[in-house]
Amino acid sequence: MFDLVLRDATLPDRGSGPLDIGVIDGLIAAIGRDLGSARLDETAGGRLVLPGFVDSHLHLDKSCILDRCTAEGALADAIAEVARLKRDFSEEDVYARAEATLVKAILQGTMRIRSHVEIDPRIGLRSFAALKRLQRDFAWAVDLELCVFPQEGLLNDPGTEELLVEACEMGADLIGGCPYTDSDPQAHVDRIFAIARRFDLDIDFHLDFDLDPSWMHLDAVIAATERNGWAGRVAVGHVTKLSAIPPEALTTIGNRLAAAGIAVTVLPATDLFLMGRRHDHNVPRGVAPAHRLAELGVTCSLATNNVLNPFTPFGDGSLNRIANLYANVAQLGRKAEMICCLDMVTAGAARLMRCADYGIDIGKAADLVVMDATDPALSVAEIAQPLMGFKRGIKTFERAAPRLLRP
């Protein structure tokens, strides 16, 4: 007797015809045809079933503040605007806005999220406390991990490091850095690694977020990763500079990243919105070619980053939409390329977050999302909607398929 059987599921990696997925105690216990009875019996109706979307880079704490903003649109303006606004963020305010964004993401089929959380003397630990509560309150629907980081710098911002350490003592899941906002970027990278070592944490940097390829903080991060033996435990986000270098140089850097065990997250919605602001025509896209890095063996993900704030005044929480956006911007139209984009919001992002229990396989977590599509490439191309989801075998949402009402 299964707790759940999801019948008639199309699983592209498993060859011909739809299969049933049987779940016991939150784990996938069987995959096959005509599985036996279950307490909850559901059907995917032959549709594509995915192991849940994985958002490896999201800022829940500063989402949904568009109605308070006046920023012009450049990166520095966005940072300054949030720096001003967050002095007034209360724990309840952060919780309410973060909850609204989290619910959107859950309804879009996202089941694992890494949220960055700003820590500094202005906001203190209020956002962190709010997101810790949210992490507990929504554990039934989503695995939410919290990456504390100094958005406005570390060595230039006295008191920040002590607060970061306090957050780590209170159970932060990992630590981030933002060397481009610091007066001493190299020392910033070194201090973040020192905290990571002290608390045995993975690291996720905001990095190289402009289009000047003549210098990169990536070199410092690669060197520190090797020096500290942190291979496989470091990710970098944005790296928009990598969109501004020719293919040979990109190949060299991609090979170095793969060898160093450093993963890359590209945030197309934000990067498109903020980069190239000095151009009034022929505006560069400013989106790093994640698919090319993935071809070189770099673990890569595409992620949401910001929702309804001055960094990205858009967002519905849909990672399928982000995969489609990236495919469009990177000019990827072939079937295998679309599937690569889907991988970067599912399995690739799960590898980046080191989710050992991810995937539709026996013994893995029964995280299952039924898409309104039968083909993975078309699911991206059409921005197919998720119709229902199960987190560890428990149904967490459903969406009725739209019906045309002919006269």
List of residues contacting Zn ion (CB under 5 A): 305
Within 229-364, residue ranges assigned H as helices are: 247-260, 268-274, 290-295, 319-329, 335-343, 347-352
CB nearer to Zn ion: pick between 307 and 360? 307
Residue closer to Zn ion by CB (options 234, 360) is 234
Decide: 109 and 304 in contact? Cβ < 8 Å. no
Q: How far is the CB of 303 from Zn ion (least distance, A)?
A: 8
Whole-angstrom distance, CA of residue 79 vs CA of residue 382: 34
Give 238's contacts (C-beta < 8 A, 6+ positions apart).
Answer: 206, 207, 208, 209, 265, 266, 267, 270, 271, 288
Task: Give the separation between CA 398 and CA 236, rounded to whole angstroms.
Answer: 34
State the minimum distance, in angstroms, from the CB of residue 58 to Zn ion. Answer: 8
Minimum distance between the CB of residue 57 and Zn ion, rounded to whole angstroms? 6
- 305/346 with CB nearer Zn ion: 305
**Smaller CB separation from Zn ion, 10 or 309:** 309
Q: Which of 2, 5, 43, 10 is nearest to 21 (CA)?
A: 5
Nearer to Zn ion, 305 or 385 (CB): 305
In angstroms, the CA 84 to CA 81 distance is 5
User: C-beta of 155: minimal distance to Zn ion in Å?
Assistant: 20
Closest contact distance (angstroms) between CB of 177 and Zn ion is: 11
CA distance 173 to 354: 12
Question: Scanning the structure block, which residue is given the tokens 């999801």?
Answer: 6
Could you tell me the smallest distance in angstroms from the CB atom of residue 91 to Zn ion? 21
Q: From the CA atom positions of the chain, what is the Rg in Å?
A: 21
Task: Give whichever of 157 and 204 is closer to Zn ion, judged by the CB atom.
Answer: 204
Strand partners, 389: 369, 397
